[in-house]
């Protein structure tokens, strides 16, 4: 083998090693500093691949269905709960509050990924021209205490997008608070947020056509009710109420 051949081989090896190191660095940055959007994208893909089979004869939800409307609105609703939790995580050193915040971030980010993943599976857009909550007007006559009501009755009148969601002013108040003040404000905002989410989830658990949506919605109801009780105790410990 000639010297020139050896030099060429060495250059190729060096280039391969360099590219390998670049790939490793890119992977490390993804694993260590990956954004929430990246995590949600991965969760959405998993939801697509591993979604419950359900009834094989079950019709795919349409764009104006309860299933699609709930998936879109709850994805937005969950996103704010995640944002609230990220804010308070950096505003207090209290381990109980930070632990609750981490639980909300992990649970609701994963659920949001599932909701968006289902919309992908159904071939439906993730946004709609319809007002938020309009899907709750779909045949509500059979729901307990809902006879004669329509979706617009659920619209909040305090400037928030959907029931339970914090206003921009409240979000700014939390960003500017620290310590015990931030803890109390977060617990109050998240309690109201959960109550609004429960109302939405109860409607979806009863009206949605697909089994996986009904099952997830009922799971949200159960878990958020439990968290409301926990937060009531945490507020009491801090001399406050919801």
Q: Which of 6-15, 44-53, 210-219 has the highest mean pLDDT?
A: 210-219
> How far is Cα 8 from Cα 107, in angstroms, rounded to an integer?
53
The alpha carbon dihedral of 129, 131, 132, 136 has a sign of negative
Record the pTM.
0.71
Range 73-88 average pLDDT = 97
**Is residue 139 helix, strand or coil?**
coil
Tokens at 241, concatenated: 């109420």
Q: Does domain 36-237 have CATH number 3.40.50.2300?
A: no
DSSP string, 141-179: TTSTT-TT--GGGG--SSS-SSTTPPPHHHHHHHHH--H
Q: Which of 44, 97, 37 is nearest to 227 (CA)?
A: 97
240: confidence class by pLDDT, cuts 50, 70, 90: very high
Tokens at 205, concatenated: 């658990």
**Is residue 15 helix, strand or coil?**
helix
Q: Which of 35, 173, 192, 188 is nearest to 91 (CA)?
A: 173
Tokens at 133, concatenated: 């909550």
Range 140-148 average pLDDT = 38
Cβ–Cβ under 8 Å, residues 149 and 90: no
> How far is Cα 209 from Cα 227, in angstroms, rounded to an integer?
27
> How far is Cα 169 from Cα 159, in angstroms, rounded to an integer?
9
pLDDT in tens, 167-190: 999 999 999 999 999 999 999 999
Tokens at 110, concatenated: 């994963």
Tokens at 213, concatenated: 């949506």
61 burial (CB, 10 Å; 0-12 / 13-18 / 19+) is buried
pLDDT in tens, 113-131: 999 999 999 999 999 888 8
* 56 DSSP 8-state letter: T
> How many CA atoms lie within 13 Å of 144's alpha carbon, on the beta-carbon side?
4
Tokens at 135, concatenated: 């899907």
Domain locations along the chain = 1-34, 36-237
Phi-psi map region of 200: left, alpha, beta (phi>0 left; psi -120 to 50 alpha): alpha
> Over 90: is that where the pLDDT of 85 sits?
yes
198: confidence class by pLDDT, cuts 50, 70, 90: very high
């Amino acid at each position: 083998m000639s010297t020139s051949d050896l030099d060429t081989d060495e250059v190729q090896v060096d280039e391969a090693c360099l590219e390998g190191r670049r790939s490793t660095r890119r992977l490390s940055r993804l694993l260590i500093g990956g954004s929430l959007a990246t995590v949600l994208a991965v969760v959405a893909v998993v939801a697509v691949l591993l979604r419950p089979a359900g009834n094989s004869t079950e019709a795919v939800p349409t764009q104006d269905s309860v299933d699609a409307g709930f998936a879109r609105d709850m994805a937005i609703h969950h996103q704010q709960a995640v944002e609230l939790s990220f804010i308070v995580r950096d505003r207090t050193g209290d381990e109980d509050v930070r632990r609750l915040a981490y639980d909300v971030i992990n649970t609701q980010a994963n659920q949001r990924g599932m909701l968006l993943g289902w919309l992908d599976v159904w071939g439906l857009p993730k946004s709609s021209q319809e007002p938020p909550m309009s899907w709750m007007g779909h045949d509500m006559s059979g729901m307990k205490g809902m006879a004669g009501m329509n979706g617009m009755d659920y619209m909040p009148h305090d400037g928030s997008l959907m029931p339970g969601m914090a206003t921009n002013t409240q979000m700014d108040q939390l960003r500017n608070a620290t310590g015990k003040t931030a803890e109390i404000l977060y617990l109050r905002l998240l309690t109201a947020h959960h109550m609004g989410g429960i109302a939405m989830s109860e409607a979806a658990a009863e009206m949605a056509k697909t089994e996986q949506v009904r099952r997830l919605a009922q799971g949200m109801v159960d878990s958020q009710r439990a968290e409301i009780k926990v937060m009531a105790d945490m507020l009491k410990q801090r001399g406050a109420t919801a």
